[in-house]
Structure 1
Amino acid sequence: MAENSLRIVVERNPSDSKLSELNIKCWPKWGCSPGKYQLKFDAEETCYLLRGKVRVYPKGSSTTEYVEFGAGDLVIIP
């Protein structure tokens, strides 16, 4: 797992056993079209990306401070 100053944890290509342990196949699926979105999380969020790529810029951060993750990554957003 890799951690960064934004506290978002990205695990690139987690093992099949880890995905099984987390019961990923039973998680609800969520999708959106390409674009910019403002999201607010009231609790820790864990997600596994099936497709696409995401670049997260925390509110008030500079355009050079971001975390990027994509298909096959397991992500924990505090």
Structure 2
Amino acid sequence: MSQIIIDHNPSQEKLQELGVSSWSIWDCAPSKFPLDFGMTEKAYVLEGEFTVTPQGGETVTIKAGDYVEFPKGLKTQWEVIKQLKKHYKHF
């Protein structure tokens, strides 16, 4: 089973190499919802905090400043705790 990859303190070099600043931005108010990934998603959290619980897996907490990768095919349950704003790109 593919896992969520989280880098809690990515370097500016890594973010520039990935071109994160040119990625789309997604905003989400505090809420709970299921989210299934039809494609791999890479994201960098600008603001907020949320938890992601993969089907059959452990809940992870993701916060502002974290870089995260969600693998294709992952089925998850999200809880946005604080207003979320993130850069993201699908692959």
TM-score computed with the length of structure 1 as normaliser? 0.82
Aligned residues: 71
Instruction: After TM superposition, give the deviation of residue 6 of structure 1 in Å.
Output: 6.6
User: Residues 9-48 of structure 1: matches in 2 within 5 Å?
Assistant: 9-48=5-44
In structure 1, stretches of 5+ residues that fail to align are none
Q: 1:49 aligns with which of 40, 45, 63?
A: 45
Identity %: 39
**Over the residues paired in the alignment, what is the CA RMSD in angstroms?**
1.7
- Counterpart of 2:88? none
Runs of 4 or more above 2 Å deviation: none
Structure label with greater radius of gyration? 1
One-letter amino acid of the counterpart of residue 43, structure 1? M
| More strand as a share of residues | 2
| 2:66 corresponds to | 73
Offset from partner CA, 1:12-62 (integer Å, 9 cap, x none): 120011110011110010011001011111111110000011101123x47
